[in-house]
Amino acid sequence: MEYFLDVVLPIPLERLFTYKISQEEAAILQPGMRVAVPFGKSKIYTALAYHVHSNPPIAYEAKEIYQVLDEREVVTQNQIKHWEWIAQYYMCTLGEVVRSVLPSAFLLESETLILSNKETEINEMELRDDEFLVYEALQHQTVLRIAEISDIVDKKNVLSLINALVAKGVVLQKETLYEKYKPKLIRYVKLAAEFEDETKLESLLNNFTRAPKQSQVVLSLFQLQARTKKPVPIADLEKESKTSRAIIKALVDKGVLEEYRIRTDRIQYAEDSITFKNIQLNEYQEKALSKVQQSFDQKKPILLHGVTSSGKTEVYVKLIQECLNEGKQALYLLPEIALTSQLINRLRDYFGNKVAVYHSKYSIHERVEVWNNVLSNAEKAQIVIGARSALFLPFSSLGLVVIDEEHESSFKQFDPAPRYHARDAALVLASSHGAHTILGSATPSIESMENAKKGKYGYASIDYRYGDVLMPEINLVDIKEATRKKRMKGHFSEKLIDAISEKLEDGEQIILFQNRRGFAPVVECTTCGHVAQCPNCDVSLTYHQHRNQLRCHYCGYHMALQQACLACGSATLDKKGFGTEQIQEELGQLFPEAKVGRMDLDTTRGKFAYEKIISAFESQEMDILVGTQMVTKGLDFRNVGLVGIMNADSMLNFPDYRAHEKSFQMLTQVSGRAGRTQKRGKVLIQTYNPYHQILQQVTTNNYDKMFEEQYYEREQFKYPPIVRIIKLTLKDKDFNKLNEAADWMATSLRNILNHQILGPEYPPIARIRRAYLKNILIKIPRNQSLAKTKNSIKRIEKSFNAISKYKSVRLVYNVDHI
């Protein structure tokens, strides 16, 4: 009897591929194991075993596989089912899902680049002959393709050899180069608590008469504290007192001073310091928790709607504890990698080393490690926190999924395929495991709130901040009026300037939110009106002062800022609009003493750039943090007294049916960063349009009103969640061809789905990376079968693909486009 294996190849082709296997291989192969297979003329791929059978393929002669790479499955059956759902629902191929969700170390192929690992000591004697050959070759050449390694050892299939070398730490894959995060250890000093007692302090100071240097240190400490109203770093004290470390240390040893750190370092975590904190929920949290449990008893997901700083995290902690008690794994999804580091420290206070982190900024090796720990249900990975991709880990007994900040649109993957929504995919995953799901937010998305209102989800709310902390006081500042009266300094109103001065004096920190990065979005010639454009995309170039460059935010194109207009040669260039960088510069002029930091896409490119900025702000090395929407999300800073929103209007006027919902969420969230401890926080929103209904709803914290109005509009204009939307984007470098193809597509779609088709239309940016774009929106009523509609679309796509002149046109589906 002949045996065959169907495999999933990590490529964007719809079908499975069939290979020939031996009887022995057929006996050991399980779905979810990896096999090395030949493909095309000379390529080698790692493929995923899908199904063993004995039916030869009809259209082609099956090739033999090269080798079975695993002794046991690395992907579970449950995962494959989930990924098939994703492929089907989001209209892509299973191969694309596999390619995007498996750590790339699992998917070696002939084109993978291999380099030697300089970090490990290699004992050459322990290498097998062929391993040694590869090792030696890499001493002479920096990188090798796997195909080249094949030549070196004179073997066709070398993937298991490479896998072994990777496992032994002899070689690395090209992408594995990464920075190690070294937390900055800033040490602070304060007077020991004992000397807060005045008589004790007095006798201490009297004692110092014979130790003038020590006395100088203590007095300097008082002065610094009085002046900065902030924790005093040892380094500053040393400078101020003009003494030495040794003298400060002597005082610490004597017990006069105490050394401490503000909030232990992220990432690094000493095992012996685990305290296994126990928390007592307050009455509101208790109430919410019992509602959550009721909902779980009914096997329903629940929406937890708790205002910012209401203590949602602590409710999750209780649920995670219960989940672990039942011996099950918990998954905690966050919308942003930036948030994982703050959360991991919090969770480790409760769960110690049972918490693992998984996200795309981790190195391949770390990801493989977490993958394997989850697969083997190891102690170390009972709780996994991560952004979108953590959803694809090989959970064997998932008991709980927490989706924090569920309203965040960054849960939706935009590019490449699969263009999935992590929240929705997580709900499907949880239900396949029989796991519970909790979605939490201070500003739930319209669709989740609708699900709660319709009873599809349970609903619990917490309306008060934890610890009797008041909601921040939010005020609108009319900058139209202020501009007219010439009362603005740059982009700052007098009110905002006064508020910043006040907080700086009080030693409190400030967050300024500006929705745009860069310095000035455009540089315009005042003589002829010319604005420099990106040669590849239909956008104006953005001025970045720091590098004195014009940059495209879509394709990365950049050029040096010109001295004169490119069109007319005049030197009268004017910078219009404003971004984070310009705010930072204006602050430098307005408050030269203040330390200002910036968090946006440009400052957070490095692996641990987020952590660095967040921890610097947290340890109060900065007074003011200027940022884009990155600063709005769920961060828990202790000392922020003021949040300023530089301009609310650009957000509100964005041409998108969700603009109002998103603005409400963003403004409420960023406001929520203020006053999370005892003192009431302050928020100032600068706007040209203070009567806008969304701004009114933000200032009065009126989510219900926002929901009601937005829902009504969605009903009127037929937008989600009233209908489902599939966005079909066509791309081509040839403008005329694109238009013709888009018209053909839209006409064919209208033939079957008539009034549900909008477009084709150019998106706001109609050319990106030299390709022209056109969108067709397909609106699908809730009562119409989504699967059937997709099938109709797919049939039209088949006819489209058969038209030879449209061959170069790319089609991209975005299901539940947001």
Q: Does 568 bind Zn ion (CB under 5 A)?
A: yes
Residue 167 contacts which entry, Zn ion, ligand ADP, none (Cβ below 5-8 A, type-dependent) = none
Q: Which is nearer to Zn ion, 569 or 588 (CB)?
A: 569
b/e string for 145-163 if b means 16 or more Cβ within 10 A? Answer: ebebbbebbeeebbbbbbb
Q: Which is nearer to Zn ion, 488 or 561 (CB)?
A: 561
CB of 445 to ligand ADP, least distance (A): 17
CB of 522 to Zn ion, least distance (A): 13
* Strands of 13-95, DSSP E: 17-21, 34-39, 43-53, 67-68
Please select the residue that binds ligand ADP; options are 10, 231, 306, 627, rule is CB under 6 A.
Answer: 306
Give bridge partners of residue 543 from the DSSP assignment: 520, 550
Dist. CA 693–CA 458, nearest whole Å: 29
**Burial of 201 per CB tally in 10 Å (0-12, 13-18, 19+):** middle
Q: Does 758 bind ligand ADP (CB under 6 A)?
A: no
Please select the residue that binds ligand ADP; options are 148, 236, 636, 743, rule is CB under 6 A.
Answer: 636
The full 3-state SS of 374-391, as one line of letters, equals HHCCCHHHCEEEECHHHH
Q: Does 312 bind ligand ADP (CB under 6 A)?
A: yes
Q: Does 571 bind Zn ion (CB under 5 A)?
A: no
CB 592 within 8 A of CB 600: no
CB of 599 to ligand ADP, least distance (A): 19
CB of 556 to Zn ion, least distance (A): 7
Cα→Cα distances 94→20, 99, 426, Å: 21, 9, 17
Q: What is the CA radius of gyration of the chain?
A: 30
CB 66 within 8 A of CB 116: no
Does the N-terminal peptide bond of residue 416 adopt cis geometry, omega within 30 degrees of 0? Answer: yes
Confirm whether residue 92 is marked as ligand binding. Answer: no
Give every strand in the sheet of 67-68, ordered side by side: 17-21, 3-8, 43-53, 34-39, 67-68
Q: Does 314 bind ligand ADP (CB under 6 A)?
A: yes
Please select the residue that binds ligand ADP; options are 281, 555, 766, 812, rule is CB under 6 A.
Answer: 281
Please select the residue that binds ligand ADP; options are 308, 340, 665, 669, rule is CB under 6 A.
Answer: 308
Q: Does 557 bind Zn ion (CB under 5 A)?
A: yes
Q: Does 646 bind Zn ion (CB under 5 A)?
A: no
Confirm whether residue 525 is marked as ligand binding. Answer: yes
Q: Which is nearer to ligand ADP, 152 or 279 (CB)?
A: 279
- Sign for the CA dihedral angle at 89, 90, 95, 97 comes to negative
CB 331 within 8 A of CB 402: yes
- Sign for the CA dihedral angle at 145, 147, 152, 153 comes to positive
What x/- string results for residues 429 through 468 when contact with ligand ADP is judged by CB under 6 A?
-------------------------------------x--
Dist. CA 370–CA 353, nearest whole Å: 13
Residue 309 contacts which entry, ligand ADP, Zn ion, none (Cβ below 5-8 A, type-dependent) = ligand ADP
**Burial of 168 per CB tally in 10 Å (0-12, 13-18, 19+):** middle
Confirm whether residue 323 is marked as ligand binding. Answer: no
Q: Which is nearer to ligand ADP, 281 or 488 (CB)?
A: 281
- Sign for the CA dihedral angle at 500, 503, 507, 511 comes to negative
- Sign for the CA dihedral angle at 701, 707, 713, 714 comes to positive
Dist. CA 229–CA 502, nearest whole Å: 13
Please select the residue that binds ligand ADP; options are 233, 311, 577, 675, rule is CB under 6 A.
Answer: 311
CB of 563 to Zn ion, least distance (A): 12
Please select the residue that binds ligand ADP; options are 46, 110, 116, 313, rule is CB under 6 A.
Answer: 313
Residue 280 contacts which entry, ligand ADP, Zn ion, none (Cβ below 5-8 A, type-dependent) = ligand ADP
Kindly compute the dihedral angle of the four CA atoms of residues 98, 103, 104, 107, in this order, to the nearest 10 degrees. Answer: -50
CB of 404 to ligand ADP, least distance (A): 7
Q: Does 584 bind ligand ADP (CB under 6 A)?
A: no
Residues in 490-549 at the binding interface with Zn ion, rule: CB under 5 A: 525, 527-528, 530, 534, 536-537
Residue 306 contacts which entry, ligand ADP, Zn ion, none (Cβ below 5-8 A, type-dependent) = ligand ADP
Residue 279 contacts which entry, Zn ion, ligand ADP, none (Cβ below 5-8 A, type-dependent) = ligand ADP
**Burial of 706 per CB tally in 10 Å (0-12, 13-18, 19+):** buried
CB of 462 to ligand ADP, least distance (A): 7
CB of 311 to ligand ADP, least distance (A): 3
Residue 359 contacts which entry, Zn ion, ligand ADP, none (Cβ below 5-8 A, type-dependent) = none
Cα→Cα distances 529→537, 558, 565, 569, Å: 19, 21, 9, 12
Q: Which is nearer to ligand ADP, 32 or 675 (CB)?
A: 675
Dist. CA 331–CA 355, nearest whole Å: 10
Residue type, 388: R
Residue 248 contacts which entry, Zn ion, ligand ADP, none (Cβ below 5-8 A, type-dependent) = none
Antiparallel, parallel or unpaired: β 488-489 and 492-493: antiparallel
Confirm whether residue 565 is marked as ligand binding. Answer: yes
- Sign for the CA dihedral angle at 729, 732, 738, 744 comes to negative
Residue 525 contacts which entry, ligand ADP, Zn ion, none (Cβ below 5-8 A, type-dependent) = Zn ion
CB of 303 to ligand ADP, least distance (A): 14
**Burial of 575 per CB tally in 10 Å (0-12, 13-18, 19+):** middle
Interface stretch with Zn ion, choices 208-216, 458-466, 569-577, 604-612 (CB under 5 A): 569-577
Residue 282 contacts which entry, ligand ADP, Zn ion, none (Cβ below 5-8 A, type-dependent) = ligand ADP
Confirm whether residue 555 is marked as ligand binding. Answer: yes
Please select the residue that binds ligand ADP; options are 18, 214, 309, 604, rule is CB under 6 A.
Answer: 309
**Cα first-last separation, the chain:** 52
- DSSP letters of 251-283? HHHHTSEEEE-SS--SS---GGG---------H
Residues near Zn ion (CB under 5 A) are 525, 527-528, 530, 534, 536-537, 552, 554-555, 557, 565, 567-568, 570
Residues near ligand ADP (CB under 6 A) are 279-282, 285, 306, 308-314, 466, 636
* Binding positions for Zn(2+): 525, 528, 534, 537, 552, 555, 565, 568
* Binding positions: 525, 528, 534, 537, 552, 555, 565, 568
